């Protein structure tokens, strides 16, 4: 596994988080994180398994990938995009997480995403409504199921299934 400097920094952050929270950043977990980081796009657990097995010499099965992704999500190192069943590295693994409710724009056609930065006033106003509705705002995550401009244009020009890069 070739690691960029950025990836090494990310692993450092991950290690310190694990240390603080009394968790183990095992080799396998670190590898999963690195692979996910290098992919730099949302992938399913199965896709991640494939890439892992191409990049890392000790092979892994999807069951383990699920478990490790669950773990990494639980300590907030990765996000699970529930609307498309895919995973990405959390910004805060690379020192950029705002630690408020994340807001993902998700293209339901090509599955590209954008992590939107929302004004704090916005979030707090929301939180109140959420709490009033009998739900928990803390630790929640928003996803807007939408279309990116490219897919929108493709649909208009009647070429469905036309996946851009």
> 72-92 burial string, b = 16+ CB within 10 Å, else e?
beebbbbbbbeebebbbbbeb
Subset of residues 71 to 100 that bind its own copies, contact rule: CB under 8 A: 82-84
Q: Is 148 in the site for its own copies (CB under 8 A)?
A: yes
Q: Which stretch binds DNA (CB under 7 A): 7-15, 23-31, 133-141, 144-152?
A: 23-31
Per CB under 7 A, the list member of 16, 85, 128, 129 interacting with DNA is: 85
Nearer to DNA by Cβ, of 67 and 98: the residue is 67
Nearer to DNA by Cβ, of 19 and 131: the residue is 19
DSSP symbol at 43: B
Distances (CA, A) of 156 to 114, 146, 149, 150: 22, 15, 11, 10
Contact assessment for residue 7 and residue 36, using Cβ atoms and an 8 Å cutoff: no
Binding site for its own copies (CB under 8 A): 82-84, 101, 105, 107-108, 114, 116, 118, 122, 125, 129-130, 133-137, 139-149, 152
């Amino acid at each position: 596994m070739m690691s960029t400097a950025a990836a090494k920094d990310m692993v450092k952050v991950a290690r310190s988080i694990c240390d603080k929270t009394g968790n183990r950043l095992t080799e396998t977990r670190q590898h999963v994180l690195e692979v996910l980081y290098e992919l730099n796009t949302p992938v399913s657990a199965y896709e991640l398994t494939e890439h892992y097995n191409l990049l890392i010499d000790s092979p892994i099965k999807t069951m383990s990938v699920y478990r490790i992704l669950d773990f990494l999500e639980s300590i907030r190192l990765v996000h699970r995009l529930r609307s498309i069943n895919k995973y990405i590295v959390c910004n805060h693994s690379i020192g950029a997480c705002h630690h408020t409710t994340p807001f993902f724009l998700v293209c339901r056609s090509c599955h590209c995403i954008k992590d939107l930065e929302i004004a704090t006033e916005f979030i707090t106003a929301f939180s109140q409504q959420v709490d009033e509705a009998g739900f928990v705002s803390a630790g929640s995550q928003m996803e807007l199921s939408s279309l990116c401009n490219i897919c929108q244009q493709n649909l208009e020009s009647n070429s469905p299934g036309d996946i851009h890069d």
